[in-house]
A and B are shown apart, each in its own frame.
Chain A
Amino acid sequence: MRWTRDAARAVAIACAAVGLGCAGELEPPVPAAHPDDPTPRRGGVLHLASFADMRVIDPANIADGLVPRVNQAIFAGLVDYDGSGRVVPDLAERWEVLDGGRRYRFFLRAGVRFHDGEELTADDVVRSMERALHPSAPNPYASFYESIVGFAEIQDKKSEALAGVTAEGKYVVDVRLKDVDATFLPALGLQVLRPVCKSAGRRYSDTWQPCGAGPFKLLPGGWDKGRQITLVRHDGYFRPGLPYLDAISWSFLVNTATQRFKFETGALDLLQDFRQAELLRFQRDPRWKPLGEYEAERQVGAESMNTELAPFDNVEIRRAVAAAIDRDHIRLIRPGNLRAAGLPIPPAVLGANPSLPGQRYDLGAALEHMKKAGYPYDPATGRGGYPHPIRYVIYRQGLSEYTVQLLAQDLAKIGLRLDVQVVNYPSYLAITHRRGKAQMTSAGWQQDYPDPSDFLDPLFHSRAINDEDSNNVAFYKNPRLDALLDRARRELDPPTRQRLYDEAQGIVVDEAPWAFTHYYRWYDAHQAYVRGYKPHPVWTHNVSFSWLDRGPSAQAGLAPRGPSTVLGLLGGRRGAP
């Protein structure tokens, strides 16, 4: 019987090793060398890492979440967003709005150099736009620019040129629109239409070496796919003296735990991919707390109710659901990243209005709505409610796998039963975008460009309803809302526009095609010696104009672990993790 005891002991040791958890203390942050000197210093390489990977770098094919971070350093556009998400000049010095909003005239800076040394002129701007909107490009965002004259023709292959975009001289570009479109400028701030070097040619190709007019350039061999990319300073960048950094380097497919270790010891300069427990630990540590900041919330999470299918064709049931969800509990699934939500547009998106009354938890009101809907429910006896189970579709291994379990508990309290159907992600997309399939699904939206139309139009306008690829997953149709959204889209006066969108949000909140549950926000921690870095409302990890103030002693490297750790492990340190 001896060996059974040995085996048992081995198992016990193994379990103890796993059960120890991660030892608590964080290393102190690497200090800045001259914390009181605000003058930017030149030089140095900034190191970033990500859990994910990136496949193609090309403004005409932005397919991965990581690409915009790299694109932002390589490509400069006619316009960009400032720190509050407003559109500001970049390659264009200024622009004029003509013909009552049907024509935009951009005046380029003279003498801007691409990375290959060639001058950037109006022809390059026209060529790049045409290249990105030509149907041979696998551009997932082309339709953002459908209001440009000639867009339909080029997409339908009736024309090879984009008629509405013309060079009016060496430094002047005209863009004509079919109709007044207030979303044109906000969408133009994206990277999709940014000018690319002549080497890119007139048509998209998968083998092009990225080249633009941004502050950093990619040298041949600088991108080791699936592992690492290094961008070096573009000395001909049009803003004098910028950028300060010699280079930026991203490592890909790096485990969150590895990132954390590297960040702690100064081998990484910014950190965003936290595990939940780690994030809370960094936020609690007084030495690290001042070095962290939340990014603007750009993502809203919700429960979508299919308004074409029973019981959600009844607005009272939808209102009941919206009032039954305890959003503070949802937040506790990931307290470091979630915030309770009640409005469709996250507070940090330009044009949001957090002061509007949103959906909120009120169990009494929810029961009242159930009664009005004709399905009164008595919580004391558990009698009544909607008699059939509601088919709820989610995908595997996402946040929604947890939110639905809380939702089911909340809805049970008002007499609604969920029949949860878990599918894999591709099937989830197919099922939820198809008409008449799912009664209820977990849904969400992430800002493409900072404007209320980016949230409300694709999600709740009846034009976004399709039999197959419907972005309006609630299949919600309301002529009053449609009219408001159409008017707001054509309204160029900001205060009037804001009023229209406020009213539109009011309708969505009240009619509740979606019950909003949470905003997702990322937490950024940076090193004390990373200066001039501020989270941006559109671009994640926009470090193009940051600078490093790092003492010579603070060398990167992992602290070696000595025998004491080994003994600690075998000794089975228990207690609080």
Chain B
Amino acid sequence: MTRFVAQRLAWAIFVVWATASIAFVTSSVLPSDPARMVAGPQARPEDVARIRVQLGLDQPVWVRYRLFFRRLVHLGPAAEKAKDHETCGTLAWVHVDLGKSYQQRRGVVAILADRLPRTASLALAAVLVQAAIGVASGTFAATRRGRPADHLAVAASLVGVSAPTYLIGLLLQYVLAHRLRVLPLDGFGQTPLEHAQSLVLPALTLGIFGASYYTRLVRDEMITELRKDYVRTARAKGVSRVGVVVRHALRNALVPIVTVIGLDLGALLGGAIVTEQVFRWPGLGSLSVTAVLDRDGPVIMGCVIVTAVAVVTLSLVVDLAYAALDPRVRKR
């Protein structure tokens, strides 16, 4: 088991490194000039050239690549905010430094620290919404298989899967915020209460989109489970219908669902780009879009690394959970 874990961990590090390296090279060779993006479209060539030097963009790619990784993890004084370590995130003597955003002129670590909790709360809320709706309606549909309620649930989930998130988002935004004005249109708000209110629409959007998939998954799993012998036995022993469904069938059906939840969470932690754009939720997704559009290299790298780590970690966790449950997997 230890060996399996070590191997998977090594692969995880490799995947993150490979992703980061490809992203670094890609964003460096794009035919456009980050200095021009900082200076503005009307800036004169002299000013653009000076800013290019200030940002260190006059150096060749491999020098910058090396500098990036050297800075990424290094040792430094444990005390925070020592000179030359302004942009670092510190964990005692270990520093993590992604450099400074060209555009915002702040440390990327600090920017990510602002954004990550917002994206994480959105991801969690969305996963909760989709799991709750999905499990409830999936179970409901499975127990009423072939009846109108089942058809309705399946139809609704099909429509949900078919609608792009931004369509769902625009519709919700239009009805709940624009027409009824019960929720903020978009943004993040100023107070904790406003943050919570602003979270509702994006979380619902992602949730409804995901819930459709979950409904179908839960329904299929439940139907399989309900056909099994132990259900009949339990019923024969006099366990109530609801008891069988909830305590036995649902519990067994949940295993694959938890897996999917884990993978979804990993994907969402990288930021739901479109939903964050529609609702202008200031998370990682919208950050990465602006960073790419502004050619803000350090921020692009920060987003790429966070996304890759999230995806890889969650799939690692899922794999390990599987391995713990199913000894056959460990051999690989």
Q: Do chains A and B touch in the complex (CB under 8 A)?
A: yes
Contact residues of A with B, CB < 8 Å?
2-4, 6-7, 10-11, 14, 17-18, 20, 22-23, 55-56, 61, 63, 135-136, 138-143, 146, 155, 206-207, 224, 226-228, 253-255, 257-258, 261, 424-427, 429-431, 433, 445-446, 448, 458, 466, 468-471, 558, 560-561, 565-566, 569
Given that A56-B105, A429-B37 are contacting pairs, would A565 and B180 also be in contact in the complex, using a CB cutoff of 8 Å? yes
A466 touches B45 (CB 8 A): yes
Partner of A569, one of B33, B170, B175: B175
With A228-B190, A445-B42 in contact, is A2–B185 under 8 Å at CB?
no
Contact A430 B282 (CB under 8 A): no
Q: Give the interface segment out of B15-23, B127-135, B147-155.
A: B147-155
Contact, CB under 8 Å: B152 / A140: no
Residues 68-106 of chain B: 1 if any A CB is under 8 Å from the residue's CB, otherwise 0? 000000000000000000100000000000001001111
Interface: B44 (CB within 8 A): yes
Q: Once bound together, how far apart are the Cα atoms of A569 and B47, in whole Å?
A: 55
**By CB atoms of chain A within 10 A, which of B154, B156, B180, B294 has the most?**
B180
| Contact A140–B184 (Cβ < 8 Å) | no
Evaluate whether A3 and B181 lie within 8 angstroms (CB atoms) in the complex, with A426-B32, A446-B42 already known: no
Residues in A with CB closer than 8 Å to B280 are 253, 255
Give the residues in chain A near B49, CB-CB below 8 Å: 469
- Chain B: CB-nearest residue to A459: B42
Among residues of A, the one whose C-beta sits closest to the C-beta of B152 is A3
Given A6-B155, A258-B185, A565-B179; A426-B42 close (CB under 8 Å): no
B152 in contact with A6 (CB, 8 Å): yes
B38 on interface, CB distance cutoff 8 Å:
yes
Between B105, B156, B159, the greatest number of chain A beta carbons within 10 A of the residue's beta carbon is seen for B105
Q: Which of A10, A11, A458, A561 contacts B42 (CB 8 A)?
A: A458
B46 sits at the interface (CB 8 A): yes
A3 to chain B: closest residue by CB = B151
Are B179 and A569 touching (Cβ within 8 A)? yes
The residue in chain B whose Cβ has the minimal distance to the Cβ of A560 is B181
Out of A2, A430, A561, A566, which one reaches B151, CB within 8 Å?
A2
Query: Whole-angstrom distance between the alpha carbons of A471 and B47 in the complex?
Result: 12
A561 interface neighbour in B51, B174, B181, Cβ under 8 Å: B181
Taking A17-B171, A138-B38 as given, write out 20 further A-B residue pairs in contact, using a Cβ cutoff of 8 Å, ordered by the A residue number.
A4-B155, A10-B156, A18-B170, A23-B179, A63-B103, A140-B43, A227-B188, A258-B184, A424-B32, A426-B30, A426-B33, A426-B37, A430-B32, A458-B44, A469-B49, A560-B181, A561-B179, A561-B180, A569-B175, A569-B179
Whether B196 sits at the interface, judged by CB under 8 Å, is no
**Sample of 25 A–B contacts (CB below 8 Å):** A4-B155, A17-B171, A63-B103, A140-B38, A142-B47, A155-B50, A206-B105, A206-B106, A224-B190, A253-B282, A257-B178, A258-B184, A258-B185, A426-B293, A429-B32, A430-B31, A430-B33, A430-B36, A458-B44, A466-B45, A469-B44, A469-B49, A471-B42, A561-B179, A565-B180
Q: With A55-B105, A426-B293, A566-B180 in contact, is A139–B190 under 8 Å at CB?
A: no
- The answer to whether A254 and B155 touch across the interface, beta carbons within 8 angstroms, is no
Asked if residues A426 and B155 are in contact (CB atoms below 8 Å), the reply is no
**Residues of chain A lying within 8 A (CB to CB) of residue B178:** 22, 257
CA distance A576 to B254 in the complex (A): 50
Per the bound structure, the CA–CA distance linking A22 and B42 in Å amounts to: 37
Min CB distance, A249 to chain B, in Å? 11
Q: How far is the CB of B71 from chain A (nearest CB, A)?
A: 17
Q: Which residues of B contact A (CB under 8 A)?
A: 30-34, 36-51, 54, 86, 100, 103-106, 148, 151-152, 154-156, 158-159, 170-171, 174-175, 178-182, 184-188, 190, 280, 282, 293-295
| Chain B proximity of A148: nearest CB distance (Å) | 14
Give the distance in Å from the alpha carbon of A7 to the alpha carbon of B163 in the complex. Answer: 13
Q: A227-B190, A255-B186 are in contact. Are A11 and B181 (CB under 8 A)?
A: no
Task: Give the residue of B30, B38, B47 whose beta carbon is less than 8 angstroms from that of A427.
Answer: B30
In the complex, what residues of A have CB within 8 A of residue B39's CB? 140
Tell me which of B37, B42, B155 contacts A7 (CB under 8 A).
Answer: B155
Min CB gap A383→B, angstroms: 39
Task: For B294, give the chain A residue with the smallest CB separation.
Answer: A426
Q: What's the nearest-Cβ distance from chain A to residue B119, in Å? A: 15
- Which residues of the partner chain A approach B295 to less than 8 Å between Cβ atoms? 426
Top-4 shortest CB links A-B: A426-B32, A469-B45, A3-B151, A140-B39
A3 near B50: Cβ-Cβ < 8 Å: no
User: Could you say which residues of chain B place their CB within 8 Å of the CB of A4?
Assistant: 155
**Residues of B contacting A226 in the complex (Cβ-Cβ under 8 angstroms):** 282
Residue from A140, A253, A433, A445 with most neighbouring chain B CB atoms (10 Å): A140
Question: Are B171 and A429 touching (Cβ within 8 A)?
Answer: no
Q: Of all chain B residues, which has the CB nearest A61? A: B105
Known: A7-B155, A140-B47, A426-B32. A261 touches B42 (CB 8 A): no
Of all chain B residues, the one with the shortest Cβ separation from A22 is B178
Closest to A206 in B: B105
CB neighbours (8 Å) of A258 from chain B are 184-187
| Residues of chain A contacted by B36 (CB below 8 angstroms) | 426, 429-430, 433, 469
Chain A residues whose C-beta falls within 8 Å of the C-beta of B40 in the assembled complex:
63, 140
Chain A minimum-CB-distance residue to B280: A253
Given A429-B36, A566-B180, CB of A18 within 8 Å of CB of B293: no
Chain A residues within 8 Å of B182, by CB = 561
A17 pairs with B188, CB closer than 8 A: no
- Asked if A429 and B51 make an inter-chain contact with CB atoms under 8 angstroms apart, the answer reads no
Known: A141-B47, A253-B282, A466-B45. A14 touches B171 (CB 8 A): yes
A62 to chain B minimum Cβ distance, whole angstroms, is 9
- Quick one: which of A11, A61, A426 has the most chain B CB within 10 A? A426
Given the contacts A2-B148, A3-B155, A138-B51, A143 and B44 also touching, CB distance less than 8 Å: yes
B185 to chain A, nearest CB (A): 5
CB-based contact B185/A63 at 8 Å: no
In the complex, which residue of chain B has the Cβ closest to the Cβ of A396?
Answer: B293
Quick one: given A138-B54, A469-B49, A470-B45, are A253 and B170 in contact (CB under 8 Å)?
no
Give the docked Cα–Cα distance between A224 and B37 (Å).
24
Instruction: For A470, list chain B residues within 8 Å (CB).
Output: 45
B175 touches which of A17, A140, A253, A430 (Cβ 8 Å): A17
User: CA of A468 to CA of B152 in the docked complex: distance in angstroms?
Assistant: 61
Q: How far is A444 from B298 in the complex, measured between Cα atoms in Å?
A: 30
A183 to B293, CA, bound (A): 34
Kindly state the separation between the CA atoms of A392 and B154 in the bound complex, as whole angstroms. 49
CA–CA, A253 and B46, complex, Å: 32
Residues of A within 8 A of B148 (CB): 2-3
Q: Report the bound CA distance from A253 to B36 in whole Å.
A: 23
Q: Which of B32, B44, B174 contacts A18 (CB 8 A)?
A: B174
Chain B residues whose CB sits within 8 angstroms of the CB of A61 once the complex forms: 105
Q: How far is the CB of A571 from chain B (nearest CB, A)?
A: 12
Q: How far is the CA of A139 from the CA of B35 in the complex (A)?
A: 12
Residue among A11, A22, A228, A258 with the highest chain B CB neighbour number at 10 A? A258
A517 to B289, CA, bound (A): 31
Contact B156–A253 (Cβ < 8 Å): no
Which residues does chain A contribute within 8 Å of B106, judged by CB atoms? 206
Residues of chain B within 8 A (CB-CB) of A207 are: 86
Contact A17 B179 (CB under 8 A): yes
Nearest chain A CB to B114 CB, angstrom units = 8
Given contacts A63-B38, A253-B282, contact A468 B45 (CB under 8 A): yes
| Complex alpha-carbon distance, A6 and B151, angstroms | 10
Nearest chain B CB to A435's CB is how many angstroms away? 12
Bound-state CA distance A138–B48 (Å) is 9
**CA gap between A157 and B54 in the complex, in Å:** 13
Contacts of A22 in B (CB 8 A): 178
